[in-house]
Amino acid sequence: MNITRLSIDLAKDIFQLYGVDSKQKCVLTKRITSRAKLIEYISKLKTCEIYMEACGHVHFKAMAIELS
């Protein structure tokens, strides 16, 4: 799986992931049910751009993810 862009819909406890390749073809749709699992999953991916979306009421739950 060659993800170049990963979009994450943030919610309180559920995270919906959508990944596309360099041709903008969907190569990943996944639901993750905890922050720990999200960080674990993302840390195993190759370097890619990550986009996060959230409604105004969840911005206080913002998280920083640093990938190398």
What are the boundaries of each domain within the chain?
Answer: 5-61
Beta bridge partners of 26: 20
> CATH assignment of 5-61, given 3.30.420.300, 3.90.1150.10, 3.40.50.720, 3.30.420.40?
3.30.420.300
- Give the integer Cα–Cα distance in Å for 3 and 45: 8
Q: What percent of the chain has pLDDT above 90? A: 60
Write out the E strands in the chain. Answer: 5-9, 15-20, 26-32, 49-53
DSSP 46: P
pLDDT at residue number 67? 43
How confident is the prediction along the chain (68 residues), in pLDDT tens digits per residue? 799 999 998 877 789 999 999 999 999 999 999 989 999 999 999 999 999 876 655 554 554 444 43
Q: Is the pTM of this model over 0.75?
A: no
